[in-house]
Amino acid sequence: MDFGEKETFRGLNRASQSQRQTGSAIKPLAVLVPGINEKIFTGATIYDDEKKTFEDGYAPGNNSGYLGKITVRRALESSQNVPFVEMMEEITPKKAISYLEKMGITSLTENDEGLPLALGGLDNGITPLEMAAAYATIANDGIYIEPTFYSSIVDNTGKTVLKKKQEKRTVFSEQVAYVLKKLLQEPVDGNNGTATYCSISGIDVVAKTGTTDDNYDKWLCGFTPYYTAVTWFGFDQNETIYYNNQNPAGIMWANVMRSIHDGFTGARFYQPNKISVEEICSDTGEIARSGCTNTYVEYFLEGTEPEECTQHSGSRVNAHIDTDEETSVYVDNKEDLELDPDDEEDVKTDDIENTTVQNEVIENTEDTENIVNDEIPEDVTNPENDIYEPSTGGGEDNTENGSGNNENSNEETVDNVEDTENTEGITEESPAA
């Protein structure tokens, strides 16, 4: 794809300045993060996906029909709207907003304090950069790290004249982060997933799509154990995006992420302690017995596991975890990742409320892509699999010194500079007595 030459200086930065509607890309942040952290639900909790009218007559639809009683995981897989609004009802929009703000979202208003928040119907919208930083909070095991575009500036003598201090704060535990990661793999790995084309062989991938009313905005937010990336695709002045049943943001995301992971060692999300892995009955969301017919594996914070299935009989079934790990470097297959804008007939969308699509020829596209945390935490690997060799040493608090972009020269250099100045000031004002 040719985006042409750069013609504007200090022009609009769509990554950091364009506040856009997020659609379903906000579901993990606004709903799953608070819901899992507050133990309001688990990945196996059942919600009823049916036509429903909420307070103030709010009646969100599903693009792909209603599925009845489904787990949170299943609702996430194909981005069913009604269950997420039900979850938001329990969480309360006020609480959801407090979580979003802790994850660095700054553009919410009091008008966002309502159930449509669950589906990304926002007052102002959110910038791609802030979305990336919020997703990176999950990738970084619950620690929000303020995005930065530089780490330090040195003068021609090598003296550090400016050093960026990134704000960091813990929003939730690594256990909560892990449960979220395992849930958020579902759109990629699930049979009904909306982001299956984002998979990377041998590497765990989290990805969530977003599409807004009238197809004005397309998003893909996701991460691997190595990188977090967010792509947005749309027009500065809203126009319907028309791309043959494809999400152009997702296609870009997949191409860029596959490309930058090329040659990397396979990696899985590291499972911390205090995580329970259970075989679950899909019908009841309870721990499977031998009489249950539809079962799957779910991950729980220790102590939040459900009871044994109350609809089926038999003995308790232990979780069956597929240990067939790929350890080799993946082989890129870009054939299914080409954008195909030609066929204007076959259009439907993955997860939107409004399916109205007009025929449009896209003449100029605006895309944004951010990669925020290329920190490689030392715990990206599951030691049991032994498929990733961390280059950073031991130590549990290594997240600040990942081997990514930042050359973290020590902060003392800067402190010394400041101290020197302060010392002079103090000297002049030293009290006589």
Binding site for Zn ion (CB under 5 A): 281, 284, 292, 309, 311-312
Looking at this protein, which amino acid is placed at residue 210? G
CB of 46 to Zn ion, least distance (A): 11
Helix (H) or strand (E) holding 301: strand 295-301
With respect to Zn ion, which residue has the nearer C-beta, 226 or 300?
300
CB of 187 to Zn ion, least distance (A): 25
Q: Which residue has the tokens 């044994």?
A: 308
With respect to Zn ion, which residue has the nearer C-beta, 61 or 291?
291
Within 13 Å, how many C-alpha atoms sit on residue 121's CB side?
A: 20
Query: What six digits make up the tokens of 52?
Result: 């429903």
Distance, in Å, from the CA atom of 370 to the CA atom of 148, rounded to the nearest integer, reads 11
CB of 247 to Zn ion, least distance (A): 35
With respect to Zn ion, which residue has the nearer C-beta, 268 or 312?
312
CB of 280 to Zn ion, least distance (A): 9
Looking at this protein, which amino acid is placed at residue 5? E
With respect to Zn ion, which residue has the nearer C-beta, 310 or 327?
310
DSSP 364: S
CB of 309 to Zn ion, least distance (A): 3
Closest CA to 202 of 337, 381, 391, 383: 381
Express the helix, strand and coil content of the chain in percent, nearest 5 each. Answer: 30, 15, 55
With respect to Zn ion, which residue has the nearer C-beta, 318 or 328?
318
Q: Which residue is nearest to Zn ion (CB)?
A: 281
CB of 344 to Zn ion, least distance (A): 45
- C-alpha distances out from residue 111 to 35, 103, 226, Å: 21, 19, 36
Distance, in Å, from the CA atom of 207 to the CA atom of 229, rounded to the nearest integer, reads 9
With respect to Zn ion, which residue has the nearer C-beta, 128 or 285?
285
